């Protein structure tokens, strides 16, 4: 290496290198393998003042001048053309001339000034003294390279990527090649997406342990590439994102590595093939940096369009359009600093993350400041787990999901210290309760950072009747029976009681519930206790097959915890019939324009502002007197308040629903109870 080069070290502009050269020739740069070889005979003795380099590819050529050599138009024009002569021969698109204060940016292909997004000549200052770690400069270079060509000199806003088709293709490839359960394939797809995200967000170093390094190895030796990923890259991810107190982190794939984290070398060819899928996609669409918001939300939903995955994956997935509608129903006051928001049965974290992403002021609370991330509005998600690895995965997916949702922030704040802050945030937001009772164990105040109850609970609780007797026996054996006195049926009954008990006075819950909560006779006491403790705000009827994994009839219910239990509700109940949810309710889940959820949320918010004065503005909505719900023997199924003719007029058809064996037995039990009640009244 020449004496001049030996004294020079590149300056990192995030993932690019800036070389401040002055007295180094193009020929020396080629010989020392700093830039790619090329047809440089005409410029081999030229000495560029500065270069911005990606790997060995030149992205920009910089010509520096003293202020005296840059103080008029003619001198500035001469300087930029000096930079362009080198840029043209090195096939670089950007030429820059500057005195450190005034700066000229040119499109080398057209030999014209670069125009900014506002339509004016780009004049952002370039100064080699301040480029180190300049995130904004890195983004500017990316946007210019993405935008300019032989016909365009103007910077255009970078397009966002929606790699749903890529995710689905990789999922299918892993599933077909391995024959593993659909959900296990999902975990591995998510892990690889995280690997690519972290590489493109510069959390992983592309030349040391990032995606580019592993991909290059895979082109030479597939087994070695997988071994490198398992022993270097994956361990780096786990170092940056250590396990929380619950023992989980953001990745847990077990196809390309085993449970110990050792490489499954028999999957080396498949691993290499999947890496190439990412590279091909990036070649066509760009790096995984500007990810479309909807992809972040739809990442798991896309897998549910595969019928093989519907039953297993759908158990913990709520369609995003339902989540969005529920979030839109919440008063803004519940999102203020000091409020605590929870999904006690969080699955992959949709309710928590959609809420955060819906409000810019909530997102801003996750910006690292003064060496910490301390959001003033607290979010929590809990899920059930035990010592079985398979039962850890939903909370791992939730943590991974949070990383993807906050990728815009992580791109900007990606030094190791900040990454550790984000990791700690994920672990404090989502928590696996290692107990057969899960959330029902009431362990959250003891084992986590949560203190007290919650101001807002948004959730789609589990609803199964099979095995609930075992849960209730455990509750009894642990002396927890005083926490569950509503006598609700199924896990949904226990869940609703937990939610009511864990709301602060004045706190609100909006939850998805099955029809059994509203109509089963053995849930009468549950309904009565809800009314004793809460104001019933709304019940919204969802169409059958709203959810991927079940045709069960479901509803959205909104309640507010009473401040004074002795005050009887004197306001009506908002009732709404949903016809369409913005997507087809078959296996394809194709988006459609018709979305009654959006209209419902808008009308509900208007209703909240004047409950006694509100007048429904469409035939899908009714206000129902509280007395229709307060009778102990009444059911809460709102559909019955629309006549057959009214339903036909608005296009809602009563659909039959499939019943499981347990549900059929419960229905028979309800009928038996009703007959006995009727006979008792008749006898009197």
Q: Does 370 score more than 70 pLDDT?
A: yes
Query: If DSSP codes are grouped into helix, strand and coil, which group holds residue 62?
Result: strand
Alpha-carbon 257 to chain mean position: 25
b (16+ CB within 10 A) / e for 566-581: eeebebbbbbbbbebb
Contacts of 415 (CB under 8 A, 6+ apart): none
Tell me how far apart the alpha carbons of residues 16 and 536 are, in angstroms, rounded to a whole number. Answer: 57
Task: Give the CA distances from residue 311 to residues 283, 308, 489, 647, 666, in Å, rounded to whole numbers and listed in that order.
Answer: 35, 7, 23, 31, 22
Is the distance from CB of 250 to CB of 399 less than 8 angstroms?
yes
Helix (H) / strand (E) element for 190: namely helix 182-200
Which of 571, 676, 576, 675 shows the shortest CA–CA distance to 628?
A: 571
| Element containing residue 114 per DSSP (H, E) | none
Query: Residue 386 corresponds to which tokens in the numbers above?
Result: 């035990």
Q: Is the pLDDT of residue 406 over 60?
A: yes
Bridge partners of 384, per DSSP, are: 433
- What is the per-residue pLDDT for 424? 94
Return the SS3 of 336.
Answer: coil
Residue with tokens 């060995």: 56
CA 617-622-625 angle, to 5 degrees, is 135
Helix locations, 329-462, DSSP H: 350-358, 360-364, 393-405, 407-412, 416-429, 444-447
Mean pLDDT of 401-415: 86
User: pLDDT tens for residues 517-576?
Assistant: 999 888 999 999 999 999 999 999 999 888 866 677 899 999 999 999 999 999 999 999
Distance CA 585, CA 589 (A): 6
CB 16 within 8 A of CB 59: yes
Q: Which tokens go with 547?
A: 């959810």
Q: How far is CA 41 from the centre of its chain?
A: 51
pLDDT at 303: 56
Q: Which helix (H) or strand (E) holds 289?
A: none
Q: Which of 78-82, 251-255, 353-357 has the lowest mean pLDDT?
A: 251-255
Can you tell me the distance from the alpha carbon of 51 to that of 24, in angstroms, rounded to the nearest whole number? 11
Cβ proximity of 250 and 396 under 8 Å: yes
Other Cβ atoms within 10 Å of 582 Cβ, number:
18
The CA distance from 105 to 96, in Å, is 5
Name, in order, each residue with C-beta under 8 angstroms of 340's C-beta and a sequence gap of 6 or more.
377, 378, 379, 380, 450, 452, 453, 454, 455, 456
Distance CA 459, CA 436 (A): 20
pLDDT at 310: 44
Average confidence (pLDDT) over 575-597? 85
Beta-carbon contacts of 422 under 8 Å, excluding residues fewer than 6 positions away, are: 366, 373, 403, 406, 409, 410, 413
Q: 591 has which bridge partners? A: 583
- φ, ψ dihedrals at 112, nearest 5°: -130, 155
For the chain, the first-to-last Cα distance in angstroms comes to 106
Residue 387: pLDDT above 80? no
Q: Residue 432 forms beta bridges with which residues?
A: 383
Q: List, in order, residues 6 or more apart from 103 with CB less than 8 Å away.
A: 96, 97, 123, 124, 125, 126
Model confidence at 182, in pLDDT bands (50, 70, 90)? confident
Tens digit of pLDDT for each residue in 38-64? 889 999 999 999 999 988 889 999 999
- Measured in whole angstroms, the distance separating CA 288 from the mean position of its chain's CA atoms is 15
Q: What was the pLDDT predicted at 314?
A: 43
Q: Which residues, other chains included, contact 169 with Cβ-Cβ below 8 Å and sequence gap of 6+?
A: 277
**Largest separation between any pair of C-alpha atoms in the chain:** 111
Strands 454-459 and 340-343: parallel
Is 4 strand, coil or helix? helix
Nearest to 424 by CA among 408, 406, 445: 406
Tokens of 427: 């672990």
CB 343 within 8 A of CB 458: yes
Return d(Cα 389, Cα 282) in angstroms, integer. 33
Q: What is the pLDDT of residue 667?
A: 63
- DSSP label at residue 323: H
Task: Dump pLDDT digits (tens) for 445-502.
Answer: 656 666 679 999 999 998 766 667 888 888 889 888 888 888 888 889 999 999 999 9
Could you tell me if 424 and 217 are in contact, meaning their C-beta atoms sit under 8 angstroms apart? no
- Per-residue pLDDT of 426-454, as tens digits, reads 999 999 988 888 888 887 765 666 667 99
- Which phi and psi angles does 594 have, rounded to 5°? -70, 115
pLDDT the model gives residue 449: 61
Token representation of residue 371: 């060496």
Residue 233 DSSP class: I
Phi, psi of 132 (to 5 degrees): -60, 125
Share of the chain above pLDDT 70, in %: 87
What pLDDT score does 327 carry? 95
pLDDT tier at 503, thresholds 50, 70, 90? very high
- Side-chain half-sphere of 81: how many Cα atoms within 13 Å? 6
pLDDT in tens, 286-313: 777 767 666 665 666 555 544 444 444 4
Q: Which helix (H) or strand (E) holds 160?
A: none
- Residue 55 CA to residue 596 CA, distance in Å, equals 51
pLDDT score, position 1: 52
Question: Tokens 């004793």 appear where?
Answer: 532
The CA distance from 530 to 194, in Å, is 42
What's the pLDDT band for 118 if we cut at 50, 70, 90? confident
**CA dihedral over 7, 13, 17, 19, signed as positive or negative:** negative
Quick: pLDDT tens for 625-656: 999 999 888 899 999 999 999 999 998 876 65
Structure tokens at 569: 């509700």
Calpha distance 139→108 (Å, rounded): 19
Say how many C-beta atoms besides its own lie within 10 A of residue 534's C-beta: 22
The answer on pLDDT for 129 being more than 60 is: yes
Backbone region of residue 256 per phi and psi (left: phi > 0; alpha: psi in -120 to 50; beta: other values): alpha
pLDDT at 411: 80
Distance separating alpha carbons of residues 255 and 263, to the nearest angstrom? 9
């Amino acid at each position: 290496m020449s004496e001049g080069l030996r004294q020079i070290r590149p300056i990192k502009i995030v993932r690019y290198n800036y070389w401040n050269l002055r007295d180094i020739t193009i020929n020396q740069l080629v010989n020392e393998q700093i830039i790619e070889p090329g047809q440089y005979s005409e410029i081999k003795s030229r000495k560029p003042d500065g270069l911005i380099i990606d790997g060995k590819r030149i992205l920009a050529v910089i010509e520096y001048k003293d202020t005296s050599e840059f103080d008029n138009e003619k001198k500035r024009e001469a300087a930029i053309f000096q930079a362009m002569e080198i840029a043209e021969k090195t096939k670089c698109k950007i030429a820059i001339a500057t005195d450190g204060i005034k700066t000229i940016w040119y499109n080398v292909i057209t030999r014209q000034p670069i125009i900014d997004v506002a339509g004016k000549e780009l004049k952002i200052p370039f100064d080699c003294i301040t480029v180190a770690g300049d995130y904004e400069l890195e983004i500017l270079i990316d946007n210019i390279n993405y935008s300019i060509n032989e016909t365009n000199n103007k910077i255009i806003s970078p397009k966002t990527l929606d790699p749903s088709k890529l995710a689905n293709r990789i999922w299918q490839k892993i599933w077909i090649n391995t024959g593993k359960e659909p959900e296990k394939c999902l975990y591995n797809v998510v892990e690889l997406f995280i690997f690519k995200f972290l590489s493109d967000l510069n959390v992983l170093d592309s030349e040391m342990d990032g995606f580019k390094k592993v991909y290059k190895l895979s082109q030479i030796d597939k087994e070695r590439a997988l071994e490198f990923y398992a022993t270097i890259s994956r361990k780096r991810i786990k170092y940056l994102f250590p396990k929380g107190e619950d023992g989980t982190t953001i990745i847990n794939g077990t196809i390309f590595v085993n449970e110990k984290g050792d490489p499954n070398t028999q999957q080396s060819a498949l691993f290499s093939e999947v890496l190439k899928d990412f590279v091909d996609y990036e070649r066509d669409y760009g790096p995984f940096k500007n990810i479309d918001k909807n992809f972040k939300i739809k990442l798991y939903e896309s897998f549910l369009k595969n019928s093989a995955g519907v039953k297993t994956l759908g158990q913990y997935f709520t369609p995003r359009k339902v989540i969005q509608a529920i979030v839109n129903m919440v008063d803004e006051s519940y999102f203020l600093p000091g409020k605590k928001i929870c999904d006690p049965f969080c699955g992959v974290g949709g309710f928590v993350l959609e809420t955060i992403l819906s409000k810019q002021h909530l997102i801003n609370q996750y910006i690292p400041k003064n060496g910490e991330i301390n959001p003033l509005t607290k979010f929590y998600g809990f899920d059930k787990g035990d010592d079985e690895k398979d039962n850890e995965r939903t909370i791992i997916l939730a943590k991974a999901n949070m990383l993807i949702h906050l990728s815009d922030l992580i791109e900007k704040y990606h030094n190791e210290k900040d990454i550790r802050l984000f990791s700690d945030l994920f672990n404090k937001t989502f928590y696996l309760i290692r107990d057969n009772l899960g959330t029902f164990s009431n362990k959250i105040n003891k084992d986590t950072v949560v203190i007290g109850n919650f101001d807002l609970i948004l959730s789609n609780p589990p609803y199964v009747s099979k095995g609930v007797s075992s849960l209730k026996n455990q509750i009894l054996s642990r002396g927890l029976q005083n926490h569950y006195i509503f006598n609700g049926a199924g896990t949904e009954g226990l869940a609703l009681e937990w939610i009511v008990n864990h709301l602060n006075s004045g706190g609100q819950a909006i939850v998805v519930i099955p029809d059994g909560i509203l109509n089963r006779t053995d849930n009468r006491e549950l309904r009565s206790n809800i009314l004793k403790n809460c104001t019933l705000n709304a019940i919204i009827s969802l169409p059958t097959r709203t959810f991927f994994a079940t045709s069960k009839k479901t509803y959205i219910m909104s309640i507010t915890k009473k401040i004074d239990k002795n005050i009887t509700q004197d306001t009506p109940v908002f009732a709404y019939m949903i016809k369409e949810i913005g997507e087809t309710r078959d296996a394809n889940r194709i988006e459609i324009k018709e979305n009654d959820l959006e209209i419902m949320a808008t009308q509900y918010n208007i209703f909240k502002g004047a409950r006694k004065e509100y007048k429904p503005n469409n035939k899908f909505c009714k206000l129902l007197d509280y007395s229709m719900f307060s009778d102990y023997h009444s059911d809460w199924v709102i559909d019955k308040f629309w006549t057959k003719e009214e339903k036909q007029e608005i296009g809602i058809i009563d659909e039959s629903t499939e019943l499981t064996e347990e549900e059929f037995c419960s229905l028979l039990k309800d009928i038996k109870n009703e007959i006995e009640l009727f006979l008792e009244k008749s006898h009197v």
